Every structure is written in C-alpha cells, then in structure tokens.
Amino acid sequence: MQKPATKETSPPARRLRREGRTAPLAAEATHLHSLAHKAYEGLLRILFSGELRPNDVIMERRIAEQLGISRTPLREAIRRLEGEKLLQRQSGGAIVVCPMSIEDFLNILSLRRLLEGEGARRAAGHMSAQELLSFRERIRAMATKAEPDSLAAQELGRELHLCIASSADNQVLASLIEDMGKRTRLFIRLFVRIADRRVQVCEEHLALIDALLEGDGEHARACMERHIDSIRAFVLDKLAAL
C-alpha cells in the first residue's frame, strides 16, 4: 500500500518560520537593553548630582520609582556600575556608593592629564569644524547665563571631552578617558559648585576649541593639560579650606 505523499516544507519556508519566532524575542531583548541603558544613565545622573554620597545605600525601590522604570533594568545598571567600581556590594548584600580617597582622586587627575593631553593632540585636525563651532556657541551661552544649570554645565563639559576622545582614533584611549572623567565628577560633586569656576572652565574649554580648530596638536595638548591642572589646583584649594 502506497503511503500518502507528505508535503515537504522548503528551506526558505522553514527559515521564515524560525525568523517569525525569533523576531519577537530579538525585539524584547532590544527593549530590555534600552531600558537597562536608560536605568544606567539615570542612576549616573543621580550619582553626579550629589544626591547620594559615599557609602550611601542604593535603595532599589525608591530609585526605580524616581526613574520611572522597573527594578529589573535597574539591577542591570547596578551590576554594570559595580563592574566599573563606582558601586560596591557589602558583605551583608547592600549596594553602596564607592568612597574615593584624595590620593585616588589626584592619581586619576595625573592619568587624565596624560591621556587627555594625548587625546587632544591626536584629535587636532580630525574634528569637524561645524561640531567645534557648535560647542563654542553652546559654551559661550553657558558662560553668560545668570543662573546656569549645574548638571547641564557639567554635562556639556563631559560631552566636549568625550567628543575629543572619540576623535583621537583610539577606542581604548577613549574608554579610559570616559571612565576617568566619571570618577572625577563623582569626587568633586561633594563640595564643588560648578558656578564657583564656571567662567574659568568655559574660558579653558574655548581655548582648547580654538587650538583644535587650528589643527595645532601640541597647542591642543597644552590647553588640555592646563585645564586638568586647573581642576587639580581648584579642588586642592577647596580641600585646604575645609
């Protein structure tokens, strides 16, 4: 007795069915990644604002409500910040903000001086004039504001530094500069108001932009080094006054 013919499924049809099943999973994974990134950036903003101080406990429920997210992506963000040594898990399981010593801070500035000076030198002549002119306009506007937003001013500086680092054509260098910049902000947020040296910072950034527009690598390096030296001197003066 002859068996009835079975309908053979073509490879393209099987592939389409597989893709149909995996597409929702891929979309969900992308969504979760986006939420985790939102949680990471939001928690960083809280840390930069000084709302949480060294050794303060991270209260997941409160922060999740503050950021308008669930605790699952927040936990991903916390794990990421643990990996970056900005948060640490105590023996009892609590997650706290990592403290930083003055010695660690000064060592970070020494590294920044070397890394960002070299990054500025390498970036000179490789950054778009339009982008640099846009930074110049924004920094000039920030310098003349009667009551500037402290976090917005810090974020503008961070954006400029990261843009320069990413233009140095060295991803390892750019990653290190980004990490050192975060640690600098987490230290100085405790006792330094951006308004205290807003005009000086703007002038230093504008001098740096001029050097980059000229394509003068050595001048750009010198401007960046003076800027880092200025941060060091300012913070040491503040510490001495405490």
- 52-105: pLDDT as tens digits: 989 999 999 999 999 999 999 999 999 999 999 999 999 888 999 999 999 999
The pLDDT of residue 15 is above 70: no
Per DSSP, the three-state class of 97 is strand
Higher pLDDT, 154 or 146: 154
pLDDT at 14: 60
The pLDDT of residue 24 is above 80: no
pLDDT at 242: 74
pLDDT at 18: 59
Residue 115 · residue 176 · CB < 8 Å = yes
% of the chain residues with pLDDT over 90: 65
- 31-57: pLDDT as tens digits: 556 888 999 999 999 998 888 989 999
Average pLDDT over residues 20-29: 55
Q: Give me the domains of the chain, ranges plus CATH numbers.
A: 20-97 (1.10.10.10), 102-241 (1.20.120.530)
Residue 118 · residue 221 · CB < 8 Å = yes
pLDDT band, very low/low/confident/very high, at 108 (cuts 50, 70, 90): very high
The pLDDT of residue 29 is above 70: no
In whole angstroms, give the CA distance from residue 128 to residue 98: 38
pLDDT at 49: 84
In whole angstroms, give the CA distance from residue 151 to residue 193: 10
pLDDT at 205: 97
pLDDT at 31: 54
The pLDDT of residue 5 is above 60: no
In whole angstroms, give the CA distance from residue 182 to residue 173: 15
In whole angstroms, give the CA distance from residue 71 to residue 102: 33
Contacts of 3 (CB under 8 A, 6+ apart): none
pLDDT band, very low/low/confident/very high, at 198 (cuts 50, 70, 90): confident
